[in-house]
Amino acid sequence: MEELVCMHAEYIQNFGSSSPEFKPSWLNPPAFQDYPASFKKALVDDDGVGRANWHLLYRKKDIQACMDQIRCVHYDEEISIYDCLCIKASSSGFELGASNWVISGARCLSYFSASDLTSGHSMALNVASHIKSEVFLFSDLKSNNTDGYDEDLTSCSVKGICENKDKDYPVETKSLSGRCCGGVVHDLLEVSKVVLETILFRGSVLVLVNGIGELMETLEVISQALDNSNLSDVPLFFVSPVAEEILVYTNTIPEWLSAERQEKLYAGEALFRHVELLQQGRLHQLSALCSQETVKVWREPCVVFALNWGLRMGPAIPLMLKWRQDPRCLLVMPETGMTRLALAPFQPVQMKVLHYCRRKLGEMEVSAIIEKMKPELFLVPETMKGEFPSLGDSDSRASRNDIVFYNMWDILTIPAPRYTEADMMAEVACTVHPRQLDSGHSVGKVKVRIQQRGGKWLLDLPKLSQESDDALTEKETICWGTVEVTKLMDILQGNGLCCELHSEGHRNNSEHRIVVTTPSPATVELGLQYTIIETNDLVLRKLITDAVRSLLTFI
């Protein structure tokens, strides 16, 4: 973020600040009138505001304020959100600190972002910490679907370059003339091969990377490759306003790194090789390209590392402008599917372009995870539908209904279980006076205090102070059964009451009315599901109540 702000400052420095409202004049609504219709349409969305909604970039103090609000967590640290949810980060293996998340409440859900089973830098994908999850949500999967790629990129693969290795240099340039050449590789070793080749032909290399872990690994692999070819004198540059911080920081985070790198900690070595490279003076950390320091150490051919900002700002721009016409030079950048757009301002590009793409989880890996973890349900992006034949269509699994494909903006409802597991304190269980029923059930009533702790339900005894407050609810009872008129009459008469049965006048036999005359007047109305006692004599009422109660099942 800080780098972005720095670069924005640089941008303003170079091109001047825009209008006082921080909005370029061509985006002000009055100016729209003069634009051609198609341009206007692109600027203004349906709501009439659209892209004219130009946002200010945040500043350094905004970053600070934002970071202050962030609570840092460790991998596998369970964090309770207001006690109703529990969330947990687990390593995804994609970048330093990159996480998949487990969210548990009534259900347990795992969210998989871009993940990598094996990683050269950060801690590898941790599948085991998802063991309790019922629902897996996968996103950012590797797609074999190449529709989105630029045509001229796919037409020329890295193999082409490698095969050309032994041929004369001019031949290669000819074949590539006027076109940007590229391919997608997934292996850093392949990248280093191409880099090496470029260096051998005295070309310089610009390596753009997305993440810091990736940067460190690329740096290591390329420097190793150079070492192996006795090219140790080729300078390496890392250009970023925050280069120093990044390099120092990455050497202090053993807990977040892969097992091999953790071994380095135990051996008392630096976690990444860049420490050694810095000491040897082979790697230079530059805060900016145009500084005195740069002038002193700059030497070509060289390998420049920078963070990827879509070739729109940052140190990559001057270097691109410098090298784009040089067919000896090489640009290594992450594959985004937007290459043509990214390179557009630099056309015609003569330099070679190589795409490096981190391995992500694909169909194979997802299937393996599903097989191992056996979640109740797993969700995969709709775009991957065609790539899950083994899960979606095959005969053996034709019946499986645990896979759901989702689209952007879809709201999927996952049914909540009717019953949730809860913990009941033993003290509560002791207060239950169960009643054995004929059906084999034991039933008891109890008053409990319901609490949530970290997404789990806990039933505890109410505190004494709270008990008195809720005197009303305590009396809530359930009872069932039917009062048999004759039995009730017997009991009442047995208690010396003078009573009469009036069944007539009611619609069916199940409704009765008992009229008591002595000691005081009272009526009892009976039905299948109700009993109504009407009397002004409290003693009598108690007596009748007891009689009726004895015929019903109460809890």
Partner 1 sequence: MIKTLVLGAGHEVGKSCVVLMIGGKTIMFDCGMHMGYHDDRRFPDFSLIPKRGDYTQSIDCIIITHFHLDHIGALPYFTEICGYEGPIFMTYPTKALAPLMLEDYRRVMVDRRGQQEQFSVLQIHDSMKKVTAVDLKQTISLGSDIQFRAYYAGHVLGAAMFHLKVGESTVVYTGDYNMTPDRHLGAAQIDRLKPDLIITESTYATTIRDSKHARERDFLQAVHKCVTNGGKVLIPVFALGRAQELCILLDDYWERMNLKAPIYFSAGLTMQANVYYKLLIAWTNQKVKDTCITRNTFDFKHVSVFDRSQLNAPGPCVLFATPGMLSGGLSLEVFRLWAPFEQNMVVVPGYCVPGTVGYRLVTGKTVTLDADKRIKLEVRCQIHHLSFSAHTDAKGIMDLLRHVSARHVILVHGEKPKMALLRTRIISELGVPCFVPGNGETVEVPSRLVLKVLASEKFLTKSQSNSLQTSIKSKVDDVSAPKRHMEDVSLSSIHDIRSAIIIMDKEKTIQVLNPEEALNVLNVSQHNFLYRCRLPLYISGMNDKDFNAPEVFDRGPTEGNEISGKELMKPSKKCCRGIQEFSGFQQQYDLEDKDAENELIWAERKEQENELELEDKGAENERIWAEHKEQEGIPHSVLEAMVQTVYKHLVKQLGDIVCYKQDNCIVANSVCIKISSEKTQSGTENKAQYIFTCTWSGQDEELARQIISILHMMQIASQASA
- Contacts of partner 1 in 63-92 (CB under 8 A): 68-69, 71, 73-84, 88
Do residues 341 and 276 make contact, with C-beta atoms less than 8 angstroms apart? no
- If one asks whether residue 143 binds partner 1 (CB under 8 A), the answer comes out as no
Peptide bond into 348 cis (omega under 30): yes
Q: If binding is defined by CB under 8 A, does position 476 make contact with partner 1?
A: yes
Helix (H, G, I), strand (E, B), or coil: what is residue 129? helix
Cα–Cα distance, 256 to 100 (Å, whole number): 14
Instruction: Find the shortest distance in angstroms from Cβ 63 to partner 1.
Output: 15
Scanning 157-165, 375-383, 398-406, 545-553 for contacts with partner 1 by CB under 8 A, the matching segment is 545-553
Looking at 480, 486, 508, 509, which residue binds partner 1 (CB under 8 A)?
A: 480
Q: Residue 106, interface with partner 1 (CB under 8 A)?
A: yes
Q: How far apart are CA 308 and CA 298, in angstroms?
A: 21
The yes or no reply on residue 520 touching partner 1 (CB under 8 A) is no
Tokens of 32: 């729209």
Tell whether residue 481 is a contact of partner 1 (CB under 8 A).
yes
The single residue among 444, 490, 498, 517 that binds partner 1, judged by CB under 8 A, is 444
In the bound state with partner 1, the residue whose beta carbon lies nearer, of 64 and 155, is: 64
Residue 434: DSSP 8-state? -
Rounded Cα gap, residues 77 and 16, in angstroms: 47
CA distance 149 to 334: 13
The whole-angstrom separation of Cα 455 and Cα 85 is: 4
Q: Can residue 459 be called a binding residue for partner 1 (CB under 8 A)?
A: yes
Least Å distance between CB 435 and partner 1?
Answer: 10
Q: Which region, judged by CB under 8 A, interacts with partner 1, from 143-151, 279-287, 489-497, 528-536?
A: 528-536
Query: Which of 432, 491, 501, 515 is the binder for partner 1 (CB under 8 A)?
Result: 432
Shortest Cβ 133–partner 1 spacing (Å): 13
Q: Give yes or no for residue 393 binding partner 1 (CB under 8 A).
A: no
Question: What Cα–Cα distance (Å) separates residue 241 from each residue in 215, 238, 252, 344, 545?
Answer: 15, 10, 20, 26, 85
Closer residue to partner 1 (CB): 3 or 387: 3
Shortest Å, Cβ 265 to partner 1: 5
Cα-Cα-Cα-Cα torsion 371, 377, 381, 382, nearest 10 degrees, comes to: 110
Residue 467 interacting with partner 1 (CB under 8 A): yes
Residue 423 touches partner 1, criterion: CB under 8 A:
yes
Query: Cα(510)–Cα(502) distance, rounded to whole angstroms?
Result: 12
User: Which range binds partner 1 by CB under 8 A, 34-42, 316-324, 382-390, 455-463?
Assistant: 455-463
- Cβ at position 521, least distance to partner 1 in Å: 12
Q: Taking CB under 8 A as the criterion, which residues in 233-252 touch partner 1? A: 244-245, 248-249, 251-252
x-or-dash string of contact with partner 1, 337-376, rule CB under 8 A: ----------------------------------------
CB-based burial label for 373 (10 Å; 0-12, 13-18, 19+) = middle
Q: Does residue 270 belong to the site contacting partner 1 (CB under 8 A)? A: yes
Residue 45 within binding range of partner 1, rule CB under 8 A: no
CA atoms in the 13 A half-sphere facing the CB of 323: 28
Q: Is residue 500 helix, strand or coil?
A: strand
Closer residue to partner 1, CB minimum distance, 166 or 504: 504
The H or E element containing residue 12 is: helix 2-15
Considering the rule CB under 8 A, would residue 418 count as an interface residue with partner 1? yes
CB of 327 to partner 1, least distance (A): 40
CA 527 to chain centre: 58
Q: Is residue 107 involved in binding partner 1 (CB under 8 A)? A: no
| By CB under 8 A, residue 539 contacts partner 1 | no
* Nearest distance from C-beta of residue 239 to partner 1, angstroms: 18
Number of residues that bind partner 1 (CB under 8 A): 99
Stretch that binds partner 1, among 15-23, 295-303, 380-388, 532-540 (CB under 8 A): 532-540
For residue 265, give every residue at least 6 positions away whose Cβ sits within 8 Å of its Cβ, in sequence order, or none.
254, 271
332 phi and psi angles, rounded to 5 deg:
-110, 120
Residue closer to partner 1 by CB (options 99, 192) is 99
User: Which helix (H) or strand (E) is 515 found in, with range?
Assistant: strand 512-518
Residue 509 sits in the site that holds partner 1 (CB under 8 A): no
CB of 266 to partner 1, least distance (A): 5
Q: Where are the alpha helices (DSSP H) in 229-362?
A: 243-249, 259-266, 274-279, 292-297, 316-323, 339-343
Q: Is residue 437 part of the contact set for partner 1 (CB under 8 A)?
A: yes
- Output 23 or 541, the one with its CB closest to partner 1: 541
Half-sphere exposure of 420 (CA within 13 A, CB side): 15
